[in-house]
Chains A and B, each alone.
Chain A
Amino acid sequence: MNQPLRRLLLSPRTLFVLLLSGIGVVGGGYLAGEMTPLLFPAQASAEARQVDDLFRFLMIIAGAIWFLVQGLIVFAIIAYRRRPGDDADGPSWHGNRLLEFVWTFIPSVIVFVLVVFSYQVWVDITTPKADENQVLGYDVVPVFAEGQQFAWRFTYSVTLPDSGREIKVVSPSLHTFVGQNVHLTMETADVIHSFWVPAFRIKQDLLPGYTTDVRFTPTLATEVVWENGEPVHHGYPIVCAELCGSGHGSMRSQVIVHATESDFVESFLQPEIDFIINPPTDPVLIGQKLLADNVYGCASCHTLETPHFSWDGNQAPVLNGIGTRASLRIAGYSAKDYLLESLGNSPAFLVPGDWPAVMTVFQAEDSTLATYMPLGDQQAIAAYLCTVTADPDAEPACEIELSAPTSLDAPEAASEAS
């Protein structure tokens, strides 16, 4: 560096400007970091808190670097713009060893710090915790998530403390409670999906041929609104983050975080267990339950609006009023025959229209295959669909008796079907 430049750099005015810029850069970085809570959804898990702290730290560093470099760019284009009439070249500077060392060394140190901090957080949020999946009165209740085009399904394996009987509670949304250390194992029925809960800052792919898992501890209960004496939960969204086909964007569900453990047991787990232990005999109610649990993923493709359901799938035919229409579709088929055939042998009738999704061809023979749907389930779902008439007050279009056990009767079968 030449003499005049050296003198300029050390003048009080320059030092003042440098100091001011330094404060600006650091302050800018700090402000950028403080924006963190504005940029994320609710911070609802222990992991989210750690990830957000790490993100804030990254934002402070990145923000400061941004203010520094962008500030220098703006300064340079103002200070070193060519003045009119000035056609000389700039000074012939080719490099400076010290400067080049500084801007190699300092970023290296920053990178080192970021790696160490990130590693610590990573170890923290992935280490198995004590008492995973513990539920009051039931010991460990493992949770299993399954993704399929384009639906989520969660299965709780409950061992009844008195009888030792194992039952599977199936739910289309994930229920947990504040403070539960959840360890979720996951598999996919078809293509790759990715389980993402933005409020928890966790994500893990579901890969064919692999069982993957993810851990989290909710810290913030979801909102409950009471409508007509019934609790309506506004859960945290579960989003599929890996492209999985035409309905990828609508492959959503929700995590319902109950405020307390007893709340979780009383308002979710116990009623589900009771339903399985003492299943209703009315096939319509059984069908309704199967559809509500989304055991066969119908909700993601079909539209169905009844007092019990509000599906808005646009991949497959609309089911509203199907009971009424069923008998009109194919000559010689009653509503009952049509519905049963559609469930057990879906390619038999194709509804006119260009529907993107092709329905799974379910079968009742081999319970080891993913396409297994026990005959009883087919009959129960058909029985419920009989009640879905064009006029909500009309009599059911058909009545179907169960001639075989449903998956609610035989929990083992249900687990294999999933």
Chain B
Amino acid sequence: MATASLPIRQEPRISAGLPRVGEFMRWSVDHKIIGVQYMVVALSFFFIGGILAMLMRWELLTPDVDFFGDGAVYNSAMTMHGTIMIFLWVIPMIGAMGNYVVPLQIGARDMAFPWLNAFAFWIIPPAGILMLLGWLVGPAEAGWTSYPPLSLLGHDGQLLWAVSLHLLGISSILGAINFIVTILNMRPEGMPLFRMPLLCWAVLATALIIVLATPFLAGALTLLILDMVAGTSFFIAAQGGDVLLWQNVFWFYSHPAVYIMVLPSMGIISEVLSVHSRKPVFGYRMIALSSMSIALVGFTVWAHHMFTSLTPELRIPFMITSMIIAVPTGIKIFSWLATIWGGKIHFTSAMNFALGFLSLFLIGGLTGVIVGSVPVDIHLHDTYFVVSHFHFTLYGGGVMGLFAGVYHWWPKITGRMLNEGLGRWHFWLTFIGFLWTFLPQQIAGMMGMPRRVATYDPSLLIYNQLSSLGAFVLGASALFFFYNLGWSLARGRVAGGNPWRALTLEWATTSPPPPLNFYEDPVPYPNPYGYGSDAAREYLDEQQRRFPAALEAPTDEGSTSASLATQPAGTSAGSSAGTSAGQQQ
């Protein structure tokens, strides 16, 4: 193992300072500003989508349509909840994480195409607003899957929905091209692909999926729009069209989109579990390769969304591919388990969410195998069991991972720590509220409750009331999160360059980093997860001397480095007081 690679005896540097608020409101080609812009937009839509979910659960407290007054209104809420959460929360949030962290992790000054990066972002706000404007002209009501012919019978809002999704798809593709080029070409010397942080692997796999799959969404949407406005009949059976055409092409994008939403979170989890348990990632190569194989196999499973509509003979092949994908997913879960095994687990909020990811995604994966089996899925397809299953993967997996990422990198982004006490509240309310919401839904689905209904059989009342109560807890948990973000900006402790003592390059600079990220050409530590070696400790000690949280601490050099070496800062609100960073509270 090579020794510390940072040039020795550089002057200590404190935060470069956050850009002014105005910087975030206008066109900027700085990947860090764009990353924050993505995050702010994504969080805003997370809030809107969450409100819609609360309203839907309020409606479902009773078996009859009462709160919304009409099934159509419920359908519009349900459609917008799904579309917003997928296309305007999770995917832009991945843009946020990827944009902010990836160039830093590979020691780049910016993304490969900064202007394109800004352009990809600035498509999103107008597209989102266009989607919301649907409510003024009669909203989309056909679900986020918008199967024709139902979607062709909808209001004008359905057209806005399609155009908006088209724009979001363009944004996705442009962003993904940028990630691929950046990751493949802009790594520094000393960072071959298999020494790259796992988040970069995950983002690379995700970007490849986006570039290959999203054009199919664009194609399907184009046909749908033509059917709506140009008198074509691609999906109109009476005029020679085929409704299954939409389902095939739509899911050819939308199943890989599931991996688009969850792979980056898997990358985040790999980072967080290793750093916060102070142990190298176990089976680095297998985790990296399993991301790639998930990306690849993910393209062959789309029709398992069509087990009740697809020609029966074709169902079995898609069952086989769908089940196979459980294997690389299992490899990841066991590798993560081995990563924390024998470590020194710091129960930071980031770590709590990463561990929560493991527990919840495990259930998402196991229920996925269950619905992957054709005969069982025949019963469970389009029921609340499926609703529960995909929330376990996309919320319990994807969103828990994104929360872990926010708690992990927020200090880098803002230069300030989040409140660990509020973070714990956020975690436990999310974790308990999540299980409380989605476990009863599984039973409701098995007992006979179809999805996308505003009214249901009164015998299913108890499961729905339980689920709704859980959902309100889950909704409340998000308030702790938003409050925590505000609290941190106003009163958060100064983070310093590397509060978690992590080895990847984004921590080898101030928090937040200066424009163009680094003060001199960054030299990566040979192993991004080489914890547990003396060389790593020396490297981190030197880094902490160079990018401290404050300048006041050093009295004599020996004691400073000793105290920094023994105190990974910010392990919790309480234990962090001893670090030099802690005095900034």
Report the Cα distance A315→B65, complex, angstroms: 11
Q: In the assembled complex, which residues on chain B have CB atoms less than 8 Å from the CB atom of A65?
A: 366
10 CB < 8 A contacts A-B: A40-B446, A54-B376, A82-B346, A190-B149, A191-B153, A199-B448, A209-B238, A240-B450, A243-B142, A246-B71
Q: Most chain-A CB neighbours within 10 Å: which of B241, B323, B331, B335?
A: B323
Query: Which of these, B374, B456, B568, contacts A249 with CB under 8 Å?
Result: B456
Chain-A contact segment, one of B8-16, B337-345, B415-423: B337-345
Q: Is the CB of A89 within 8 A of B537?
A: yes
| Interface of A, helix, strand, loop or mixed by DSSP | mixed
With A122-B316, A192-B147, A243-B150 known as contacts, the answer to whether A94 contacts B447 (CB < 8 A) is no
Q: With A41-B447, A243-B143 in contact, is A93–B282 under 8 Å at CB?
A: yes
- Which of the 9-residue segments B160-168, B187-195, B257-265, B356-364 touches chain A? B356-364
A288 interfacial by beta-carbon distance below 8 Å: no
Is A111 within 8 A of B450, CB to CB?
Answer: no
Q: Does A247 reach chain B (CB closer than 8 Å)?
A: yes
Are B450 and A118 in contact, with the CB atoms below 8 A?
no
Identify the interface centre among B282, B326, B334, B340: most chain A CB within 10 Å of its CB: B334
Q: How far, in whole Å, are A72 and B339 apart by their CA atoms in the complex?
A: 12
Tell me, yes or no, whether B488 is within 8 Å of chain A by CB: no
| A80 contacts the other chain (CB 8 A) | yes
Stretch of B26-34, B129-137, B377-385, B550-558 contacting A (4+ beta carbons < 8 Å): B377-385
Other than A77-B340, A249-B454, give 19 A-B pairs with Cβ distance below 8 A: A51-B379, A65-B366, A70-B359, A91-B342, A91-B343, A92-B530, A92-B532, A92-B533, A100-B283, A103-B331, A194-B381, A198-B448, A201-B379, A205-B309, A207-B244, A237-B448, A245-B153, A248-B71, A249-B450
B181 within 8 A of A: no
Among B75, B337, B355, B373, the residue within 8 A (CB) of A118 is B373
Question: Which residues of A are found within 8 Å of B571, using beta-carbon distances?
Answer: 82
**In the complex, what residues of B have CB within 8 A of residue A209's CB?**
237-238, 241-243
Check if A162 is an interface residue, CB within 8 A of chain B: no
Interface-facing stretch out of B273-281, B395-403, B427-435: B273-281
Contact of B284 (CB < 8 Å), options: A90, A94, A208, A314: A94
B-facing residues in A266-301 (Cβ within 8 Å)? none
CA distance A52 to B283 in the complex (A): 38
**B49 CB → nearest A CB, Å:** 19
Contacts of B212 in A (CB 8 A): none
Q: How far is the CB of B160 from chain A (nearest CB, A)?
A: 19
Task: Give B379 Cβ to nearest chain A Cβ, in Å.
Answer: 4
Interface flags for A173-198 (1: CB within 8 Å of B; 0: not) read 00000000000000000111010101
A226 at the interface (CB under 8 A from B): no
B530 contacts A249, C-beta separation under 8 Å: no
A81 to B572, CA, bound (A): 13
On whether the beta carbons of B448 and A239 are closer than 8 Å, the reply is: yes
Closest 6 CB pairs of A and B: A209-B237, A249-B453, A92-B532, A198-B448, A90-B343, A246-B72
Contact present for A51 and B448 (CB under 8 Å): no
Contact of B18 with A by CB under 8 A: no
A111 to B531, CA, bound (A): 35
Q: Does A227 contact B (CB under 8 A)?
A: no
Q: Which residues of B contact A54 (CB under 8 A)?
A: 373, 375-376
Which residues of B are found within 8 Å of A199, using beta-carbon distances?
448
Binding site for B on A (CB under 8 A): 39-41, 50-51, 54-55, 58-59, 61-62, 65-66, 69-70, 72-73, 76-77, 80-82, 84, 86-96, 99-100, 103-104, 107-108, 111, 114-115, 118-119, 121-122, 125-126, 190-192, 194, 196, 198-199, 201-205, 207-210, 237, 239-250, 252, 314-315, 356
Q: In the assembly, what is the distance between CA of A133 and CA of B407, in Å?
A: 62
Partner of B450, one of A39, A103, A196: A196
Whether the Cβ atoms of B153 and A77 lie closer than 8 Å is no
> In the complex, what residues of B have CB within 8 A of residue A248's CB?
71, 75, 450, 452-453
Whether B567 contacts A87 by the Cβ 8 Å rule is yes
Which chain B residues border A100 with CB–CB below 8 Å? 283, 286, 331, 335
Question: Total number of A-B contacts with CB less than 8 angstroms?
Answer: 273
* A89 B363 Cβ-Cβ under 8 A: no
B201 smallest CB distance to A (angstroms):
15
CB-defined contacts of B537 to chain A, threshold 8 Å: 89
Check if B536 is an interface residue, CB within 8 A of chain A.
yes
- Closest-by-CB residue of A relative to B575 is A84
Judge whether B465 is part of the interface by a CB distance below 8 angstroms.
no
Q: What is the 8 Å Cβ interface bit string for chain B, positions 303-319, against chain A (1 contact, 0 not)?
A: 00000110010011001
Pairwise interchain contact A80-B345, C-beta atoms closer than 8 A: yes
**Closest residue of chain B to A104, judged by CB?**
B331
From B281, B374, B448, B531, A41 is in contact (CB under 8 Å) with B448
Please give, as numbers and ranges, the residues of chain B lying within 8 Å of A242 by CB-CB distance: 147, 308, 382
Establish whether residues A111 and B326, one from each chain, have CB atoms under 8 Å apart when the complex forms.
yes
- Give Cα A99–Cα B339 distance, bound, in whole angstroms: 13
Residue of A nearest to B376 (CB): A55
Chain A nearest Cβ from B191, distance in angstroms? 17
Q: Which residues of B, 186-211, contact A by the 8 Å Cβ criterion?
A: none
CA–CA, A111 and B335, complex, Å: 19
A residues in contact with B327, CB < 8 Å: 104, 107-108, 111
Q: Min CB distance, A189 to chain B, in Å?
A: 11
Residues of A within 8 A of B345 (CB): 76-77, 80-82
Known: A66-B362, A89-B536. A194 touches B382 (CB 8 A): yes
Q: How far is the CA of A92 from the CA of B278 in the complex (A)?
A: 9
- CB pair B243–A250 under 8 Å, yes or no, is no
Quick check: A80 and B376 within 8 Å, CB to CB? no
Q: Which residues of A contact B338 (CB under 8 A)?
A: 93, 96, 99
**CA A284 to CA B42, docked complex, whole Å:** 61
- Contact, CB under 8 Å: A70 / B362: yes
Q: Residues of B contacting A69 with CB < 8 Å?
A: 333-334, 337, 358, 362
Contact A90 B375 (CB under 8 A): no
Judge whether B374 and A122 touch: CB under 8 Å. yes
CA distance A84 to B566 in the complex (A): 12
Question: Does A89 contact B326, Cβ atoms closer than 8 Å?
Answer: no
Which of A94, A111, A203, A244 is within 8 Å of B323, CB to CB? A111
Is residue B347 contacting chain A, with contact meaning CB distance below 8 A?
yes
Contacts of B520 in A (CB 8 A): none
Knowing A69-B362, A95-B284, A243-B75, say if A88 contacts B320 (CB, 8 Å).
no
A109 → B minimal CB distance (Å):
10
Q: How far is the CA of A91 from the CA of B236 in the complex (A)?
A: 63
Pick the contact of B443 from A39, A77, A81, A207 — CB < 8 Å? Answer: A39
Closest Cβ neighbor of A204 among chain B residues = B308
Q: Is the CB of A58 within 8 A of B369?
A: yes
Contacts A80-B343, A190-B149: A90 and B279 contacting too (C-beta < 8 A)? yes
Q: Are B70 and A246 in contact (CB under 8 A)?
A: yes
A66 near B363: Cβ-Cβ < 8 Å? yes
Residues of B within 8 A of A121 (CB): 375
Whether B280 and A73, one on each chain, are in contact in the complex, defined by CB atoms closer than 8 angstroms, is: no
A39 cross-chain contacts in B, Cβ below 8 A: 443, 446-447
- A-contacting residues, B284-301, CB 8 Å: 284-286
Q: How far is the CA of A95 from the CA of B286 in the complex (A)?
A: 9
State A198–B453 Cα separation when bound (angstroms). Answer: 16
| Contact indicator per residue, chain B 53-71, by CB within 8 Å of chain A (1) or not (0) | 0000000000001000011
Given contacts A114-B369, A203-B308, A90 and B531 within 8 Å (CB-CB): yes
Contact yes or no, B284 A203, CB < 8 A: no
Contact partners of A66 in chain B: CB under 8 A: 362-363, 366
Least distance between A262 CB and chain B CB atoms (Å):
30
Contact string, B16-56, partner A, CB cutoff 8 A, digits 1/0?
00000000000000000000000000000000000000000
Could you tell me if A119 and B316 are in contact, using CB atoms closer than 8 angstroms? yes
Residues from chain A with Cβ under 8 Å of B316 in the complex: 119, 122
B516 at the A/B interface (Cβ < 8 Å)? no
A77 surroundings in chain B (CB, below 8 A):
340, 345, 347, 355
Known A-B contacts A39-B446, A80-B345, A246-B75; A205 and B308 likewise in contact (beta carbons under 8 Å)? yes
The verdict on B271 contacting chain A, using a C-beta distance below 8 Å, is: no
Bound: A77/B336 CA distance, A: 13
B515 within 8 A of A: no
